[in-house]
């Protein structure tokens, strides 16, 4: 494995080095270059590739830049260069303004890298290009993309449980947890779609002492000691409990998790597999293949720890300034209705 000198400061990478390492005939065609990938994200290790995106003028021949793609030695560093024409990048960014569910993982990864890349040559050209798309809109689009993926995974989970495929259901439940983790991160602007950095990004958004962070670590590394239906069901329930914590954080306020959940979050009391989904501004309760639009207060009552009292929920919502026009009595009535319907135990 090739490693680089850890003492080299990649943040000081000079764009002129890139040009000097490329044939002089293409210099005049380069519009800008930016550092992308793990080094631009602050997630790199000493073995991480140094990735640079090169954007060139549209009238430049593709064969001219074909040789620029791939590894290049620049200033003593091994740089991996990917080259795109201005029109290619514009079309990619334009697609990022639409429905991100229609794009491939590779496409959204490239859009992310363009938007979050660190310019190292011709900064102004880079800024002019990304001005065509609002980063906040892309973050929100990625947030709903991950929620859309989670909705499909929930449908799969229900079908696998009903079909008796418990081992596969347990793995799907873990995937569901990861999709909500990605949605949680996207909501905070961390849209880099690489699973190997998921926990590092989560740690960057939360503290190691955070209940949510610890529970997600438990899902990733705890697992089931014995592979039988009982242990796998426990894993599924624990995953669904963490999913609920992530939903509270995504839909409402991450502080509510700390106030309305108490470790250990094993979810032994979750008697039914149900899901609260978000579609735009609507909340949808799904149980098996049935669904119903519910209001925010109902969603909260379904998501929080069932062992919490009505007063606990009321106090927590007041503390985080949740504006829902609720009262202690309305919370009590709503929870009683949900119990009568069998959604709460």
For 130-149, the pLDDT digits (tens) are: 887 888 999 999 999 999 99
Q: Once rounded to an integer, what is the mean pLDDT over residues 2-23?
A: 59
Under the banding of pLDDT at 50, 70 and 90, the label for residue 316 is confident
Q: CB–CB of 342/272 below 8 Å?
A: yes
Cis peptide before 264 (omega within 30 of 0): yes
Q: Is the pLDDT of residue 323 over 60?
A: yes
> What's the pLDDT tens digit per position in 235-265?
888 888 889 889 988 888 877 877 776 544 4
What average pLDDT does the segment 31-44 reach?
Answer: 84
Query: For position 343, what pLDDT does the model report?
Result: 80
At residue 81, the pLDDT reads 81
Where helices occur in 209-306 by DSSP H, the ranges are: 211-221, 229-251, 255-260, 296-303
**How many Å apart are CA 195 and CA 206, to the nearest integer?**
17
| Token digits of residue 188 | 């905070």
pLDDT of 60 higher than 80: no
pLDDT, tens digit, for every residue of 69-102? 656 666 566 778 888 888 989 999 999 888 888 8
* Model pLDDT, residue 10: 60
Beta bridge partners of 322: none
The pLDDT of residue 3: 40
pLDDT greater than 60 at residue 5? no
pLDDT for 320 beyond 70: yes
What was the pLDDT predicted at 6?
Answer: 43
Selected residue with higher pLDDT from 15 and 57: 57
Q: Which is nearest to 297 in space by CA: 322, 280, 271? A: 322
Spatial neighbors of 336 by CB under 8 A, at least 6 apart, are none
Main-chain dihedrals φ then ψ at residue 280, nearest 5 degrees: 65, -125
pLDDT score recorded for residue 71: 66
Share of residues in the chain with pLDDT > 90 (%): 17
Put the strands of the sheet holding 274-279 in their side by side order. 274-279, 282-287, 290-294
Q: Average pLDDT in the 49-73 region?
A: 69
The secondary structure of 301-327 as a DSSP string is: HHHS-TTS-HHHHHHHHHHTT--S---
Domains of the chain: 10-133 (3.30.460.10), 137-340 (no CATH)
Residue that wins the pLDDT comparison between 10 and 165: 165
Strand partners, 34: 53, 119
For residues 307-336, average pLDDT: 86
Region 157-182: what's the mean pLDDT?
92
Taking all residues of the chain, what is their mean pLDDT, rounded to a whole number?
81
Pick the residue with more confidence: 52 or 324? 52
Burial of 3: CB neighbours in 10 Å, binned 0-12, 13-18, 19+: exposed
Evaluate whether 53 touches 33 at the Cβ level (below 8 Å): yes
**Sign of torsion over alpha carbons 327, 328, 333, 337:** positive
pLDDT digits (tens, 9 = 90+) for 287-309: 766 788 888 888 888 888 788 88
Among 220-229, 232-241, 262-271, 315-324, which stretch is predicted with the lowest mean pLDDT? 262-271
Q: What is the pTM of this model?
A: 0.82
pLDDT of residue 65: 55
Burial class (CB in 10 A: 0-12, 13-18, 19+), 100: buried
| Mean pLDDT of all residues in 194-210 | 83
């Amino acid at each position: 494995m090739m490693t680089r000198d850890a003492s080299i400061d990649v943040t000081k990478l000079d764009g002129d080095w890139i040009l000097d390492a490329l044939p002089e005939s293409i210099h005049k065609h380069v519009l800008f270059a930016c550092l992308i990938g793990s080094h631009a994200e602050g997630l790199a290790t000493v073995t991480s590739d140094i990735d640079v995106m090169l954007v060139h003028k549209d009238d430049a021949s593709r064969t001219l830049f074909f040789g620029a793609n791939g590894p290049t030695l620049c200033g003593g560093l091994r740089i991996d260069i990917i080259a795109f024409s201005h029109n290619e990048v514009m079309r990619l960014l334009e697609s990022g303004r639409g429905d991100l569910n229609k794009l491939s993982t590779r496409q959204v990864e490239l859009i992310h890298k363009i938007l979050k890349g660190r310019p190292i040559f011709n900064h102004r050209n880079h800024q002019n290009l990304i001005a065509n798309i609002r980063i906040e809109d892309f973050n929100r689009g990625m947030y709903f993309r991950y929620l859309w993926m989670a909705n499909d995974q929930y449908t799969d989970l229900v079908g696998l449980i009903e079909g008796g495929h418990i081992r596969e259901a347990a793995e799907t439940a873990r995937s569901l947890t990861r999709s909500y983790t990605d949605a949680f991160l996207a909501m905070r602007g961390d849209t880099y779609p690489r699973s190997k950095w998921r926990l590092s990004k989560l740690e960057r958004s939360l503290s190691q002492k955070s209940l949510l962070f610890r529970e997600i670590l438990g899902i990733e590394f705890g697992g089931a000691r014995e592979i039988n239906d009982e242990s796998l069901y426990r894993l599924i329930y624990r995953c669904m409990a963490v999913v609920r914590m992530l939903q509270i954080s995504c839909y409402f306020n991450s502080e509510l998790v700390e106030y309305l959940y108490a470790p250990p979050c094993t979810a032994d009391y979750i008697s039914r597999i149900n899901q609260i989904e978000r579609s735009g501004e609507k909340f949808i309760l799904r149980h098996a293949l049935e669904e119903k639009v519910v209001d925010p207060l109902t969603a909260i009552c379904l998501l929080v720890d069932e062992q919490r009292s009505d007063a606990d929920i009321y106090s927590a919502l007041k503390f985080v300034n949740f504006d829902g026009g609720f009262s202690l009595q309305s919370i009590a009535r709503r929870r009683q209705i949900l119990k009568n319907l069998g959604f709460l135990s």
